[in-house]
Amino acid sequence: MEKPLYISTRGGVSPVDFNAAVMMGLADDGGLLIPAEIPDVTSKLSAWRKLSYPELAFEVLHCFIGDAVPSNDLKNLVKRSYSTFSVPEVVPVKAVGTVYICELFHGPTLAFKDIALQFLGNMFEYLLACTKGKLNIIGATSGDTGSAAIHGVRGKAGIDIFIMFPEGRVSPLQERQMTSVPDANVHCIAINGTFDDGQRVLKELFNDMAFKRDYHLGAVNSVNWARVLAQIVYYFWSAFRVTEETGSSAVQVSVPTGNFGDIFAGYMAKRMGAPISRLILATNENDILSRFFNTGEYSLGKVVPTLSPSMDIQVASNFERYLYYRLGQDTVKVRATMDEFAKCKRIVVPGKDGEFAAGRGDTATTIDTIQRYYRQHGYLLDPHTAVGVAVAEQNACEGIPTVCLATAHPAKFAATIEKALEPGLAVHPTLEALKTLPTRKVLLDPLKEVVKGYVAETLAGK
């Protein structure tokens, strides 16, 4: 199999193979990297249904990696990545009431980000060993990406990681999962601002080409194509499990999302031929994405703190990848549209995409959904998953079963569970152990030169 190629949504980067795409992270022209071609796998679905999760992951990944990584090496990377999960099936799918819950939280940090970041950490280490290179990862997180990224690369040779998170806007346990990691290659930066501020600084750093080159910057946010790629797998996996159980030909999948990375992976799976009839996009009060899919207007609002902080985002960094397809794969239009949004904070895209339904679950709805599912079904939902379930209920479709992605273990948001139900229900030994560990972080203003200076100073001492 030849090496599949990657291009930029803005058309300013020569096609590169998977390995170069992973190391580039954000495209050098400021766009996002996407596959030049999306493989059609409909002829393989029957065989893929019979595979274990790691076996399925290899098949899906291989479609987009090809000979860039030898097959045996890729199989070993996949096996290592999912051996860290606490359940043998990696991603259990459970019938709960009228929906099916796809549990993505059985990795080391109890969040769906582990699915991609365990793989990406191992892939980074593999590629650096091949080239004897160094990598300095810079990321911004609204909660779970930071800890999953840190746990994916902690202690790995040739890698330092700098993670920015909004001070006071992630849950205490999410913060501890980052700041309690003692490895010398881990650096946590609390910023005086929102996640969007951190994401802005991240893009400014990556668009500083001299700094990116001189300091060997790499990305773990969902701007990195490998993140999206690894997440495609569980859309096939969950659709297979549910269609087998129900006898239906397809499912719809509800995805709680803020940054559009997770649901974009579902969009790619659907385009590849996964048995998915449509995707349900679920937001909290920070509803720029659900408003877009219902009205065609993508306009910036103010970030509102909610019970589902990982979704407290207005500027969705992966939206540009979807926009590329929505605008007919016209890179000139994409660049012009993104320039317009940067200037006016608002764009309008005519028409409606029937492959998506969209809605929002506010604070009251989130609490109600957590209460109902525990009292009626004995199942505990974290607040992000509760948003997805609530919006799924709003978009039920007769004859089509609904898969809801469960993105985090409820114990990561124990205060919300306690508010909705009672104390002591949401606990996990991994998280309990964090409460007595020492922590370390620095507090910085969300300015490019400030963060740039901290990175340079930290690395100068190494």
Supply the pTM of this predicted model: 0.93
Mean pLDDT of 337-361: 96
pLDDT in tens, 407-422: 999 999 999 999 999 9
> Does 313 reside within a domain?
yes
> Does 235 reside within a domain?
yes
Mean pLDDT of 202-206: 92
Ranked by mean pLDDT, the top range of 48-57, 125-134, 313-322 is 48-57
- What pLDDT is attached to residue 111? 94
Percent pLDDT > 70 in the chain is: 100
- What pLDDT is attached to residue 310? 85
- What pLDDT is attached to residue 390? 98
Q: Which token pair is 162?
A: 């700098």
pLDDT in tens, 80-103: 999 999 999 999 999 999 999 999
Mean pLDDT of 15-26: 94
Mean pLDDT of 105-114: 95
Tokens 């525990």 sit on residue: 374
Mean pLDDT of 120-127: 94
What's the one-letter identity of residue 72? N
Give the residue numbers spanning the domain of 416.
Answer: 93-108+231-429
pLDDT in tens, 208-250: 999 999 999 988 888 899 999 999 999 999 999 999 999 999 9
Question: Which residue is catalytic, options 75, 79, 94, 113?
Answer: 113
> Does 1 reside within a domain?
no
- What pLDDT is attached to residue 87? 97
> Does 359 reside within a domain?
yes
What is the 3 state secondary structure string of the chain? CCCCEEEECCCCCCCEEHHHHHHHCCCCCCCCEEECCCCCCHHHHHHHCCCCHHHHHHHHHHHHHHHHCCHHHHHHHHHHHHCCCCCCCCCCEEEECCEEEEECCCCCCCECHHHHHHHHHHHHHHHHHHHCCCEEEEEECCCHHHHHHHHHHCCCCCEEEEEEEECCCCCHHHHHHHHCCCCCCEEEEEECCCHHHHHHHHHHHHCCHHHHHHCCEECCCCCCHHHHHHHHHHHHHHHHHHHHHHCCCCEEEEEECCCCHHHHHHHHHHHHCCCEEEEEEEECCCCHHHHHHHHCEEECCCCCCCCCHHHCCCCCCCHHHHHHHHCCCCHHHHHHHHHHHHHHCEEECCCCCCCEEEEECCHHHHHHHHHHHHHHHCCCCCHHHHHHHHHHHHCCECCECEEEEECECHHHHHHHHHHHCCCCCCCCHHHHHHHHCCCCCEEECCCHHHHHHHHHHHHHCC
CATH code: domain of residue 406: 3.40.50.1100
Is the confidence at residue 36, as pLDDT, over 90? yes
Is the confidence at residue 1, as pLDDT, over 80? no
> Does 74 reside within a domain?
no
Structural domains in the chain (count): 1
> Does 57 reside within a domain?
no
Q: Is residue 113 annotated as a catalytic residue, yes or no? A: yes
Strands 16-17 and 5-8, by their bridges, are antiparallel
- What pLDDT is attached to residue 223? 86
> Do 393 and 333 meet the contact criterion of CB atoms below 8 Å apart?
no
User: For residue 356, which phi and psi values (nearest 5 degrees)?
Assistant: -125, 140
> Does 35 reside within a domain?
no
> Do 160 and 92 meet the contact criterion of CB atoms below 8 Å apart?
no
pLDDT in tens, 384-437: 999 999 999 999 999 999 999 999 999 999 999 999 999 999 999 999 999 899
> Do 309 and 286 meet the contact criterion of CB atoms below 8 Å apart?
no
> Does 13 reside within a domain?
no
- What pLDDT is attached to residue 257? 93
Tokens 């207007």 sit on residue: 297
Mean pLDDT of 270-288: 97
Average pLDDT across the chain, whole number: 95
